[in-house]
C-alpha cells in the first residue's frame, strides 16, 4: 500500500516538474479537472507512445483560460515548448481554406454551387465528369477526385512548382466516382481550392491567409510553413536513436500546410465564433452538414462533414446534447485537433510533435471541460454483457469479399458460435483478423463501443461500422464482384521502386502488385502492408471502382524498349526484377529524363558516397525496406547486403562518386 501511495506522489511531482509554460489564469479552480485530465493524458502519450512534445490551449469568451506546453521543442538547445512554439497543424489547414472560400463567396466573387471550371478553365481531366465538380464539392469531399497527389507533398524544402505539377497530375487522372454523391476524405479537393483562391483573389494563398486570417485574428505565430528564420519550432525526434528529423515542409498548403500554435488556433476559433472572420450566415453554412446524399445508407455518418470540417456534430458529444464542431490533422511528423463549441463560446486546440491519439485525448479533455462547467453531467460507465444470438439467414447472404482503401476483406459466418469471421488479405491469402459475436438487430460487436453491420444501399453490398447505441456510422468496405475475365499476369507477383522521387521528398516507398485467386480479373496495388483492389479494364490497366475508399489511383503498366514501368500515386515506378546490377567501376550520372537511377548490389560489402549538390542516396534492403537515406545522415562507409538496391537521386547531369567494396 505504501508503494502505491509513493507512486502516486511521484507521478504527481512528474506532472508538475515536466510541464512547460503554464498560463496562470489556468489556476482558476473551475478548470482544475480539465487541466488534470490534459496533463495526465498528454504525458501518457509522450511517455507511452513516443510523442516528442505537445501544446494545448483552451479559450472561453475570447480569453485564454488554459495554455500549456509539454516537453522540449528542441532537445539540443534545451528549448521548452511555450505558447509561441510552432507546430505543423496538417489537415486542420482545411478549415482555413474553406473559410477563405466562404469569404470570397461573401464578397460575390464565387458561388458554391457553380462548376469549378467556370472559374478555372485551365482545370481539366481525362474524365468528362470533372465538369460537374462544383466549388462546394471541393470542400465537402464529394468531388470524386482520386485522393492525394503525394509527389513532393511532404518535403524538406518548398516546391515552387507544386501547384503546376498538381494541375498536370489532375489532367492525367480519372475520377473515382460521380461528383456530388459520396463524401470520402479527399486532399486533392483542397489543393484545387487553393488554386481557386489564388486565381480569384489575385494573391498567393499564403499572402491571402496572412491578410484575411492571421492578421485579423491576432495569430502572430501562424504562417504557411514555418516562419522563415524561426528557431522556436517543435521538432520530431527519431525514437530509436533520439536524433531530430529534418523540419517538415508541406507543399500541400491548402490541404495541410499551415504552421501554428494551440493559442493561435483558439484565436482562429474565436474569430469564427465572434464574427470577425465570417458573417453569421457564412459560419452557419460552413458548419452545417454538407455530406453527399449516398455517404450513408441510413443514419448520420460519423464524419458528418461541413465545409472543411470533419464533423459538424462530434458524435461523442452530440449524443449528450452538445454540438461540438471538429477538425483533425495528421502529417508525417505532427498530429492536431481543433474543437469549437459554439453555444459555450469555447475553442480547444491540441497539437503533438510525433505520433499521438490526438482525437481520443481531445475527447477526454473536452468531456472533462463540459462536465466541469456543468454543461453535461458526469459520464457513467456500465458493464457490457454479450449473449450471442443466432445469425438470421438474410445476413448470411452478405458473406463474400469487400474492398477498402488499403484492405481486401473476406467475410464469413460461423453459425456454431454465432460470430462473424473477419479476414484480411496479406498479399498471399486471407488471414483471420478478428471474430465478432452477433448481438441481434443486424449488429456484430467489435468491442470498444463499435458495431459492425451490413446494407445493400445504393445498389451495393456495404460493410458498415457504427458507434454503439447511436445512429452514427461509416462505410468501411463495399462488395467486390468476382466475375472479371481479364488476364492479370502483367501485374502478377511484382515489386516496384519509384524513379520519380525528389531529393527533398519525405515520402519514400516501395510497392507491390499481384492477383487475388478468389477474385478473377482483380489485382492489388499495395505499399507497406496495404493492399487495395483494382479490377482491370485491360491487361495493363486497373481502374478505380471503390466509391467509399480514399486515396486511390489507376495502376497502369507500360512497356518501352523492353522496360516495364508502372504509373500510380503521381509516381513512376520500375519493376525490381528488371533493375540491373551495379557494375564494377560503373559511372552513375542522371540522364536527361531526370529519373532516379537504381542498381542492385550483388554481394555483401560496404558502401559510401560523396553527394553532389541537391542530390540524395537511398539504400533499400532485399525486402525493399529503407535502411539508409542521406536525407537523415551521411552514408560514408556502411554495411550492405547482397540483393540490396541503391537509388541515386539528383538533377540532370549530376554524377555520383561512390565506393562499393566487397
pLDDT tens-place string over residues 86-111: 999 999 999 999 999 999 999 999 99
642 has pLDDT over 70: yes
In this prediction, residues 555-579 reach a mean pLDDT of 95
Same structural domain for residues 110 and 219? yes
Backbone angles phi, psi at 233, to 5 degrees: -120, 135
Residue 18 lies in a domain: no
- Cβ(57)–Cβ(388) below 8 Å: no
Residue 342 lies in a domain: no
Residue 24 lies in a domain: no
Q: C-alpha distances in angstroms, 107 versus 211, 286, 449, 519?
A: 15, 15, 45, 52
* Rounded Cα distance, 507 and 155, in Å: 8
Residue 534 lies in a domain: yes
Total tally of structural domains belonging to the chain: 4
297 has pLDDT over 50: yes
Same structural domain for residues 133 and 220? yes
Same structural domain for residues 516 and 635? no
Same structural domain for residues 474 and 494? no
Residue 422 lies in a domain: yes
Residue 459: which pLDDT band, with cuts at 50, 70 and 90? Answer: confident
* Rounded Cα distance, 312 and 297, in Å: 19
Q: Which CATH number does the domain housing residue 497 bear?
A: 2.40.128
Backbone angles phi, psi at 350, to 5 degrees: -140, 130
- Look-up of cell digits 507500360: 558
387 has pLDDT over 90: no
Residues contacting 395, CB < 8 A, separation 6+ = 413, 438, 442, 454
Q: Which of 164, 136, 264 shows the shortest CA–CA distance to 210?
A: 264
587 has pLDDT over 90: yes
Same structural domain for residues 446 and 502? no
Pairing relation of β-strands 419-425 and 430-440? antiparallel
Residue 381: which pLDDT band, with cuts at 50, 70 and 90? Answer: low
Same structural domain for residues 296 and 168? yes
> Quick one: cell of 572?
513512376
Q: Which of 420, 430, 395 shows the shortest CA–CA distance to 533?
A: 430
Angle at 120 between CA 114 and CA 124, to 5 degrees: 105
207 has pLDDT over 70: yes
Same structural domain for residues 515 and 533? yes
Same structural domain for residues 170 and 280? yes
Q: Which CATH number does the domain housing residue 98 bear?
A: 3.40.710.10
Asked which of 262, 284, 303 is the last residue of a domain, the reply is: 303
pLDDT, tens digit (0-9, with 9 covering 90-100), for 208-251: 999 999 999 999 999 999 999 999 999 999 999 999 999 999 99
Q: 435: burial class by Cβ within 10 Å (0-12, 13-18, 19+)?
A: middle
Same structural domain for residues 555 and 645? no
* Rounded Cα distance, 102 and 486, in Å: 47
Same structural domain for residues 227 and 271? yes
* Rounded Cα distance, 8 and 248, in Å: 38
Asked which of 273, 303, 333 is the last residue of a domain, the reply is: 303
* Rounded Cα distance, 477 and 464, in Å: 7
- 3-state secondary structure at position 525: strand
pLDDT, tens digit (0-9, with 9 covering 90-100), for 176-202: 999 999 999 999 999 999 999 999 999
Residue 552 lies in a domain: yes
Asked which of 303, 322, 343 is the last residue of a domain, the reply is: 303
Output the pLDDT for position 378. Answer: 82
Domain span at residue 559 reads 489-578
Output the pLDDT for position 481. Answer: 86
pLDDT, tens digit (0-9, with 9 covering 90-100), for 392-445: 999 999 999 999 999 999 999 999 999 999 999 999 999 999 999 999 999 999
- Cβ(347)–Cβ(337) below 8 Å: no
334 has pLDDT over 80: yes
Same structural domain for residues 472 and 602? no
- The mean pLDDT of the chain is 94
* Rounded Cα distance, 599 and 624, in Å: 13
Residue 311 lies in a domain: no
Residue 379: which pLDDT band, with cuts at 50, 70 and 90? Answer: confident
Same structural domain for residues 474 and 511? no
Among the residue ranges 11-25, 349-363, 483-497, the one predicted with the least confidence is 11-25
Q: C-alpha distances in angstroms, 181 versus 141, 186, 462?
A: 10, 13, 15
Instruction: For the chain, give the percent of residues with pLDDT over 70.
Output: 95
Residue 137 lies in a domain: yes
Residue 382: which pLDDT band, with cuts at 50, 70 and 90? Answer: low
* Rounded Cα distance, 591 and 220, in Å: 45
Output the pLDDT for position 383. Answer: 59
Amino acid at each position: 500500500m505504501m508503494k502505491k501511495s509513493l507512486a502516486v506522489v511521484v507521478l504527481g511531482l512528474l506532472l508538475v516538474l515536466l510541464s512547460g509554460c503554464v498560463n496562470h489564469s489556468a489556476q482558476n479552480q473551475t478548470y482544475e479537472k480539465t487541466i488534470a485530465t490534459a496533463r495526465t493524458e498528454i504525458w501518457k502519450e509522450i511517455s507511452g507512445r513516443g510523442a516528442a512534445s505537445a501544446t494545448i490551449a483552451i479559450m472561453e469568451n475570447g480569453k485564454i483560460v488554459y495554455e500549456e506546453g509539454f516537453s522540449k521543442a528542441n532537445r539540443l538547445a534545451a528549448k521548452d515548448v511555450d505558447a509561441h512554439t510552432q507546430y505543423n497543424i496538417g489537415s486542420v489547414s482545411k478549415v482555413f481554406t474553406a473559410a477563405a472560400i466562404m469569404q470570397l463567396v461573401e464578397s460575390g466573387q464565387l458561388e458554391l454551387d457553380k462548376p469549378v471550371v467556370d472559374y478555372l478553365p485551365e482545370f481539366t481531366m481525362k474524365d468528362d465528369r470533372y465538369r460537374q465538380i462544383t466549388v462546394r464539392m471541393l470542400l465537402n469531399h464529394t468531388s470524386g477526385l482520386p485522393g492525394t497527389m503525394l509527389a513532393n507533398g511532404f518535403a524538406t524544402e518548398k516546391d515552387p512548382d507544386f501547384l503546376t505539377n498538381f494541375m498536370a497530375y489532375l489532367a492525367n487522372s480519372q475520377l473515382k466516382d460521380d461528383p456530388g454523391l459520396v463524401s470520402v476524405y479527399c486532399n486533392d479537393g483542397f489543393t484545387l481550392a487553393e488554386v481557386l483562391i489564388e486565381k480569384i483573389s489575385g494573391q498567393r494563398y499564403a499572402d491571402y491567409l496572412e491578410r484575411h486570417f492571421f492578421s485579423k485574428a491576432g495569430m502572430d505565430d501562424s504562417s504557411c510553413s514555418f516562419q522563415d528564420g524561426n528557431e522556436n519550432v517543435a521538432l520530431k525526434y527519431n525514437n530509436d536513436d533520439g536524433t531530430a528529423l529534418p523540419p517538415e515542409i508541406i507543399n500541400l498548403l491548402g490541404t495541410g500546410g499551415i504552421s501554428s500554435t494551440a493559442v493561435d488556433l483558439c484565436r482562429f476559433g474565436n474569430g469564427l465564433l465572434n464574427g470577425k472572420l465570417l458573417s453569421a450566415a457564412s459560419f452557419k453554412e460552413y458548419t452545417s452538414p454538407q455530406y453527399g446524399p449516398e455517404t450513408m445508407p441510413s443514419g448520420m455518418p460519423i464524419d458528418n462533414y461541413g465545409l472543411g470540417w470533419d464533423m459538424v456534430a462530434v458524435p461523442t458529444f452530440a449524443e449528450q446534447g452538445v454540438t461540438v464542431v471538429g477538425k483533425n490533422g495528421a502529417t508525417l511528423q505532427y498530429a492536431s485537433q481543433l474543437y469549437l463549441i459554439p453555444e459555450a463560446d469555447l475553442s480547444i486546440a491540441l497539437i503533438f510533435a510525433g505520433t499521438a491519439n490526438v482525437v481520443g485525448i481531445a475527447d477526454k479533455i473536452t468531456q472533462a471541460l463540459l462536465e466541469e462547467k456543468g454543461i453535461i453531467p458526469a459520464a457513467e460507465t456500465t458493464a457490457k454483457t454479450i449473449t450471442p444470438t443466432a445469425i438470421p439467414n438474410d445476413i448470411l447472404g452478405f458473406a463474400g469479399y469487400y474492398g477498402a482503401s488499403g484492405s481486401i476483406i473476406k467475410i464469413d459466418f460461423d453459425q456454431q458460435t454465432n460470430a462473424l469471421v473477419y479476414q484480411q488479405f496479406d498479399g498471399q491469402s486471407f488471414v483471420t483478423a478478428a471474430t465478432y459475436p452477433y448481438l441481434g438487430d443486424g449488429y456484430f460487436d467489435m468491442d470498444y463501443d463499435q458495431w459492425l453491420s451490413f446494407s445493400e444501399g445504393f445498389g451495393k453490398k456495404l460493410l458498415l461500422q457504427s458507434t454503439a447505441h447511436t445512429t452514427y456510422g461509416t462505410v468501411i468496405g463495399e462488395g467486390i464482384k468476382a466475375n472479371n475475365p481479364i488476364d492479370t499476369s502483367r501485374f502478377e507477383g511484382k515489386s516496384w521502386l519509384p524513379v520519380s522521387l525528389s531529393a527533398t521528398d519525405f515520402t519514400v516507398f516501395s510497392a507491390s502488385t499481384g492477383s487475388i485467386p478468389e477474385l478473377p480479373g482483380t489485382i492489388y496495388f499495395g505499399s507497406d502492408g496495404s493492399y487495395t483492389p483494382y479490377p482491370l479494364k485491360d491487361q495493363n490497366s486497373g481502374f478505380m471502382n471503390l466509391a467509399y475508399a480514399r486515396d486511390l489511383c489507376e495502376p497502369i503498366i507500360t512497356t518501352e524498349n523492353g522496360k516495364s514501368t508502372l504509373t500510380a500515386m503521381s509516381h513512376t515506378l520500375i519493376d525490381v526484377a528488371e533493375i540491373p546490377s551495379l557494375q564494377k567501376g560503373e559511372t552513375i550520372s542522371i540522364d536527361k529524363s531526370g529519373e532516379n537511377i537504381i542498381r542492385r548490389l550483388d554481394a555483401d560489402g560496404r558502401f559510401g558516397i560523396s553527394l553532389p549538390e541537391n542530390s540524395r542516396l537511398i539504400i533499400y534492403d532485399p525486402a525493399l525496406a529503407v535502411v539508409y537515406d542521406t536525407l537523415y545522415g551521411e552514408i560514408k562507409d556502411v554495411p550492405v547486403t547482397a540483393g540490396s538496391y541503391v537509388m541515386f537521386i539528383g538533377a540532370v547531369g549530376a554524377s555520383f562518386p561512390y565506393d562499393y567494396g566487397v
